[in-house]
Amino acid sequence: MNKINLSAYQPIADIQDNIIFSNNGNVIFCYEGNLPEIYSLSEKDFEDIHGAWCQALKSLPVGTVVHKQDIYLKRSYSSEKLPNSTFLEKATHKHFKGRGYIEHKCYLFFILTKNKAINNPKYVNPLRKVSKGIVQELDNNINSFANSVNDSVSFINNSRRASLRPLNEKEIVGLTETYFNGFNEGFDTDILLENKSVNIGENHFDALAINSELCFGESVQSSKTNEKFTSDDFVFHQGFIDGLGLTLNENHIVNQILYLDDKHKWRKLLDKKIEELNKSSNFGSQNKVVLGKIQHILDQINADDNARIVRGHLNIVYWSKDAKELDKITSKIKTEFKELDIIPYYPRGEERKNYILNSYCCFSSNFSNNDLYVTDLKHALCLFINNTNYKSDTTGIIFNDREHNIPVLKDVWDEHKKRIKARNFAIFAPTGEGKSFLANNILRQYFESGVRLVIIDLGGSYTKFAKLYPEQYTILRYESGKNLGINPFYISNQTDLTPERLEDLSVFLFELFASDLKITKAQSVSVKKILRHYYDSTSEKHSLESFYVFIERNQENLLDTLKIHPDYFNVTSFLHVMSEYVGDGLYTFLFELGEDQTYKIEDKRLIVFELDEVKDNKEILSVMLKLIKSAIQRTIWKNRAEKGIILFDEFAKQLKFENVLESVEFYYQAIRKQNGAIGIILQSINQLPNNSTSASILENTQVIYSLNNEKGYTELVKRLNLSSHDLNQLKSIKNNLSGPRKYTEMFIKIGKESNIFRLEVPEEVYAAYLTDGQENEAIIAIYEKTGSMEEAIKIYINS
């Protein structure tokens, strides 16, 4: 038979849920595997996954066939999951559309065979006509098998590394049709079986296999060194046959088929083989080699009570539209095998056809002894591929994967707190590595998805990005000798004076006049009483100055009127300390105002406080942060349902002053009650003093970004309790700032999950994030003329 039309030879008699009743009497339980991301696993992780597979499969009944199938297909990225409404979103959508990548799907089939002994003739034609009526009901035999399979699947799903999901009827039919249609899209076709090759539609197919113990070299392991990322001072690991997976970058399928045999039967068979070889070992060195290998297998079986003997078959089926291409792919695969010290077998003619057809799940019990190697289950499982592509969340910030530079959405907000309990984040990177660029990228996407932003900036890094959203942003810039226009005492009417508002105001006052003292409950109650009395007695123009004057005028009888003990509120001390901020005090200008400007920020979604000129004055910076806090509480935090982010950029400059850290810690405490997050940007984690306040901040920061740092990552690892694989990932960061696809790499850790991501952006986005240099100045100059940042960027790019 040289031509097969699948509609005439249906392999499936019936499908119930995820179970195929095949025409040859086999019953197949079908699952899709969900594997960890490539590059996210350490040497120990690979060992753990290998151990989990061993435990899961070793107690399956004798005669079970397990077939793991990894399908890799060349695809082009569609961009359909990317947002596409704003100027920068459209640019990103267009930039990545059509980019090539490899799609990976992993399937696992558990097969209950009609032929319990699984001893087949050399060639089994899987598509011979079979009389109907072979469909078995779910009898006791099948039910018992189903229970064993469920146990195995539960074990894998509980291991937390990988998980298995039952396929449904539509998926099973789709997979079957695609397989026998030779992965041709858009038309149905026949399978042509020539002696030289197997052709299905436009695709020429070929295969390589491991079908005998002689194929293996010295040893197999659960993982090996990844040469691409390993360097002198660290070792990066990959799965043993990962080179035949995603990184092969070709259309191919990796099939690993295991026949779980009866240990005792094999012991007898091997004993017999050894006896024969002993007689003939003098006739040639090859016989001696085989004898040695078989003796080794037998010793292992006898030594380990838990040993589970399997016969195994691994093949790689690959295809191309161009027959000449096939030779290139063949030599690529052979090179990968050579690195593993494995010599693959190259099937021809009838055998090639046999391998390709019988690698479909209904027929994978059709291999004969000549196609199978004998070994222990542990050995065979080293040939499983245990990772897959980077995984996109349904929503999130766009980064790029490390394999194909295609967009990956990472949900760093985590609405339902599946990965993280606190969504605060920190960015660590030395000067010049692109901290502000990364921060712009994260914040811009948050902003465009509806999150309100407050940026406390000492460097002027966000002005350009803000100007892309006229009407939605405001920039409050501190200039020497002037105020920010924030009046914490301002109320539009008496209903503003809620208990929370009085609480906030009292905290604000204590921070100003007693920042170095521990405040008691009694003192707090006293200040709130005085504040209420002040608002009751003063109907307009509320301000710090007016509050000060009110206390000064009423100091004789204020405490008596409100029944406050002098120990709980020291009027003289208050007036003395606060005199610095009123009248002709040194810092009066900070609170001098005709009107409160916070109404300007109430309806803005992007608020930038630029405190560039203040960064060396401890007193002014400290007051500024308190004023900003009061503004945030009154405007942004009023609506708890609204998401908000506060970012402290160039945070280290603010941290030079001890009370700033406490002030920031307050934000961390308060943000828990809000639907919000705090971000800090530091050049090095050492800029955070090593004290309990910093420890509390780091504990509440569960999303970590780190860019390349030539000085190393020792402190980062120590203070964030990073794992040894986290450190290996950090050390493997490499940027590529030349050529057509420029990108920077960064380490991102969300809760316990970590990996290296890339940041590649289109020209428009790059221009929007630039913060200094000639290019930036050129864009600003065009903006001054046009008044539109979007226009300025377009003109700049086209020029």
CATH number at residue 463: 3.40.50.300
| 308/349 same-domain check | yes
- Is the same domain home to 425 and 357? no
- As a dihedral over the C-alpha atoms of residue 99, residue 779, residue 431, residue 478, rounded to 10 degrees, the angle is -130
Q: Are residues 345 and 254 part of one domain? A: yes
- The pLDDT value recorded for residue 1 is 45
Q: How confident is the model at residue 519 (pLDDT cuts 50, 70, 90)?
A: confident
Res 131 pLDDT > 60? no
Mean per-residue pLDDT, 751-765: 95
Verify that 637 and 716 share a domain, yes or no.
Answer: yes
**Tell me, what's the pLDDT at 184?**
87
Q: Which domain holds residue 189?
A: 6-382
Of the two residues 656 and 353, the one the predictor is more confident about is 353
Residue 326 C-beta-side C-alpha neighbours within 13 Å: 19
Residue 72 pairs in a beta bridge with: 104, 252
Q: Are residues 247 and 148 in the same domain?
A: yes
Question: Average pLDDT in the 605-619 region?
Answer: 81
Are 495 and 636 within one domain?
Answer: no
Question: Which tens digits make up the pLDDT trace of 233-286?
Answer: 888 999 999 999 999 999 999 999 999 987 777 777 777 777 777 776 555 566
Domain count, the chain: 4
Q: Which pLDDT band, with edges at 50, 70 and 90, does 574 fall under?
A: confident
- Side chain identity at 798, as an amino acid letter? N
- Each residue's pLDDT tens digit, 288-322: 667 777 777 777 767 766 678 899 999 999 999 99
**Exposure string over 323-337, b if 16+ CB within 10 A, otherwise e:** eeebeebbebbeebb
In 3D, which of 512, 395, 361 has the Cα closest to residue 31?
Answer: 361
Cβ-count burial 418-434 (b if 16+ within 10 Å, e if not): ebbebbbbbbbbeeebb
| 681-733 residue pLDDT tens | 999 999 888 888 888 889 999 999 999 999 999 999 999 999 999 999 999 99
pTM: 0.88
Mean pLDDT, residues 775-781: 92
What is the per-residue pLDDT across 428-437, written as a single tens digit (0 to 9) for each? 999 889 888 9
Answer yes or no: do 278 and 325 share one domain.
Answer: yes
The verdict on residue 676 lying in a domain is yes
Rounded mean pLDDT of the chain? 87
User: Which of 207-211, 222-226, 757-761 shows the lowest mean pLDDT across its residues?
Assistant: 222-226
Rounded to 5 degrees, what are φ and ψ at 756?
-95, 130
Domain annotation covers residue 389: no
- Residue 387 falls inside a structural domain: no
Q: Which two tokens stand for residue 14?
A: 């019936």
Q: pLDDT of 622-650, one tens digit each?
A: 788 888 887 787 766 777 778 889 999 87
Tell whether 677 and 767 lie within a shared domain.
no
**Same domain membership, residue 636 and residue 527:** no
